[in-house]
Every structure is written in C-alpha cells, then in structure tokens.
Amino acid sequence: MTTSTADLDLLAERAAQAAPVLAASSAAERAAWLRAVADVLDANLAELVAIADEETALGEPRLRGEVGRTSGQLRLFADVVLEGSYLEAIVDDADPAATPPRPELRRLLVPLGPVAVYSASNFPFAFSVLGGDTASALAAGNPVIVKAHSGHPRLSARTAELAIGALAAAGAPEGSLALVEGRAAGEALVQHPRIRAAGFTGSLSGGRALFDLAAGRPDPIPFYGELGSVNPVVITPAAAAARGEQLAGGLVGSFTLGAGQFCTKPGVVFVPAAAEGFVGTVTAGAADATGGRLLTERITEAFPAGVERLAADPAVRVLATGSGETAPTVLETDAAAVAQRPDDLLEEVFGPTTLLVRYTDEAQLLAALDAVPGSLTATLHSEPGDDVAAVLARLSDRAGRVLFAGWPTGVAVTWSQHHGGPWPSTTSGHTSVGATAIRRFLRPLAFQDAPQHLLPAALRDEALTGIPHRRNGRLVG
C-alpha cells in the first residue's frame, strides 16, 4: 500500500496546523501526552507483540523487552521536558557601561516544525513508529509524520492507530502524529515543503538517497540518518592471554544476537596473531550456532551474498559456518590487507557474521585502525598494564561510544547515552538514543530587548526560576 500524493499533502497540512499548538504547549502538557502514548503501548503489549512476531520472527521475549524499552524512552523524554535544561536557556542582562553597550539578550531552543521519521526494520518498536526519533521530536514540540517500514506494515498501522488515539484523548492537537506507507511516499515526504527535518535509521544506500533528497530541496533541511557501522573491537595480547575464552564466548553471543541484526553488532575484531585459543573458541562457538530467517526477504537474500563477497577476497578465509537459514559465519584476514583494501574488507554485512583481523604488532594494528570507517561504537579489551593510549585515540576518533567491558550490542536509554558517530555511521554528530536526541529537532532563537509579555513563556523571569539556565555567564539552578 502506498499513501497517495493527495493524502500526504493532507497529512502534512494537518501537521503544519498542529505545529504552532505543539510549540506553544507547556512542559506539563507535552509530558502528559508522551506518558499517555507510553501507557497505551504497554496496555496493548500482548496484541502488538503478537503482530510483531508474525512480521519479524524476532521472538516474543525479545519483542516484549523492546516494548518496555520503547515505552521507557517515551517516559524518559517526558522527564526531559519537565526538567527543562534541554531548552539551553541563556540570559545576558543589559549593561550600558559595557564596551560596546550590551542590550538584554535571551536565548533558547525552539521546535523546528513538522518532522519526518523513517522506521527501521530491525527494531519494530524502539526505532519505528514510536521510537526514539518520534519520542524526541514530539518532546521537542514538533508534529511527526512516520514513514512505515515495509517489513512490519501491520504493526506500524496498529501502533500508529493506538498512539494517535492516545494523543487525541490526552488533548494533543489533530495532526500531532501521522503515518504514511510506500517508497514513493517516503521519497515525497522528505521533499515536502511542510517538513522541516527528518530522522532515519536504515541502510547506507537508502539513507544516502534520502539525505541527498533533503539536501537537494530548494530549502534544504537537516537529515539525521543512522546508516551503517562495523563497530570495531580491539583485543590486546594481554587480554587474549588473561581471558581469551571468556572474550570469545562474549563475541559469539554478541555477533549472533538477534541473528546479527543489531546496528551495534561487532563486525570487525582485531586480535593478536598468536591468539590461537581465542580464535579457536570463537570458531567452535560459531560452528555450533544456528541462524534463523532475517527480518525481510531482501535482507535474507543479501546476507549470503555479503558473506560470499568477503570470502572471495584472496586475503580472507572462512573459519566457521553454523547452521540454519542464515548460518552464523566467522571469517579471518590480516591487518595488512585491511590497511590496503578497507573498502573491500570493511563493508558492513548485515546479519550473523564477523571478521577477525590478525595483527602482529601495534604499528600494524594502528595502520589498520586508520582505515576503519566511522562507527557507532568501538570496543577495547585490555589489561591494566597495557599501554593503549594510541589505540584508544584511534578508536575515539572513529566512534561515538567507546566500551571497555562487555560488547556493544545493547544500548542503554539514558541521559548520557550517545548513539551516533562519524560518517557513515551517521550523517551528523548527534545521537538518536538518550535524552540529548531531542537536540536534533530544535533550533536556537534569541530575543533582544524584548518586553517580558512578548517573550516565550520559558524565557520569562518567573519561568526561569524553575529550570536550569545560564545568566550573565553563570549556571543557575
């Protein structure tokens, strides 16, 4: 099913009419709307999980947990709105004695207007109709039009229906949330003159196409895309010697989790050339693992082609292949080959596979890390006596989150979380997970010598007493 041009125009016009109402809403009102949506999601958990499992085959336990994450992040953004620091309110009082004389200036962040959100296939709740993009855009005071993912259309439609009803019952204006379907509608959406920003999670090719459409408009708009990531891992010789078996088990569990369909899957793992025990344990674990069908037919068909492309490289060999429709696969190469041909060896393969990269010394490791593309995460497993300053500098330069324990699959939804990184992992320096994801859908606005009654409510003196802000250079509250 594809949303017609006429229907898209109607939904966009309703969103435009709702925008000033949402922008003028109080923090308490928006928080109540977000919590109402979270409540309806939890209240209909069983029905939604059943639909999601039919369409994605991700399994009831995983999907139930994802619903909890999704309703939890809606409630987190309700707290963010009420706390108020997201506004970045700043006041500089007038000072006629300054050189030059200084007027009164007050600044805060304001909503952009209608936002387009593109659902992801691999998280049918947390990165879909009511995912982090929608939650943060609504929290910022923007209407949202979601483009449903073709991998879970019935779930998208039912989730949107419940959420729109909950928003209406809670007093949100008509047009606060809408859903469109079909590729043509998705392309038209990012180009629609009523849309002021877009959030996307998906493939590099699909995201780049939409990014180019957003940039090519007569009035270019920000496009916040999460596109692809190999999430490099470095294991030092000391770590491999001290806890190689434990690390190997953790790697197998991480790259096969959810059939390898997490955007934070560890896809490239740098290991010491002599770490035979670690490599052997990973190989055995992968050989015993079973892979099921992937999220969509297209993704399922693309997985073996991606593995075959890597395996065809003369510097690569297949170490282990598990069982099942999409068999978990471990491949191996060397750091010198990665440094020479990163475009061939470091292209993301979506699904349950990982590439082990053997290095002989730090110089070889650093040369290979210099070739690693931007990623959402980077992981460093080392021991207290290791000198890892140079390695850490490389990893920090190429990722938005650096881990020193555990594995990157699993993203906590918190105030301090950052889920983003250099290109091609994202198209910007912003996060799509955590409290500061709200920043994407706001813009700064300053007022000079404005009468109190004409200022936005949050910038008036009586309101500033209740939110953190900066006055004359000093933090208050």
Active-site residue flag, 263 = yes
Q: What's the CA gap between 296 and 198, in Å, rounded?
A: 24
What is the Cα 304 distance to its own chain's centre?
Answer: 26
Q: Are 263 and 122 in contact, with CB atoms under 8 Å apart?
A: yes
Looking at residue 372, the DSSP 8-state letter turns out to be P
Identify the active-site residue in 181, 226, 332, 348. 226
Identify the active-site residue in 55, 263, 332, 348. 263
Q: What's the CA gap between 70 and 80, in Å, rounded?
A: 15
**Around Cβ 398, how many Cβ atoms within 10 Å?**
22
Ramachandran class of 180: left when φ > 0, alpha when ψ lies in -120 to 50, beta otherwise: beta
Those residues whose C-beta lies under 8 Å from the C-beta of residue 318, and which sit 6 or more positions away, are 311, 329, 330, 331, 332
Q: What's the CA gap between 111 and 23, in Å, rounded?
A: 6
Active-site residue flag, 54 = no
Q: What's the CA gap between 288 and 176, in Å, rounded?
A: 49
Its sign, for the CA torsion 239, 243, 247, 248, is positive
Residue 299: half-sphere exposure toward Cβ, Cα within 13 Å: 22
Q: Are 160 and 177 in contact, with CB atoms under 8 Å apart?
A: yes
Q: Are strands 223-226 and 323-324 parallel, antiparallel or unpaired?
A: unpaired
What is the Cα 187 distance to its own chain's centre?
Answer: 20
Those residues whose C-beta lies under 8 Å from the C-beta of residue 22, and which sit 6 or more positions away, are 30, 111, 138, 141, 142, 143, 172, 173, 176
For residue 157 the two structure tokens come to: 């439609």
Ramachandran class of 260: left when φ > 0, alpha when ψ lies in -120 to 50, beta otherwise: left
Rounded (5°) CA angle 354-125-60: 75
Instruction: State the catalytic residues.
Output: 226, 263
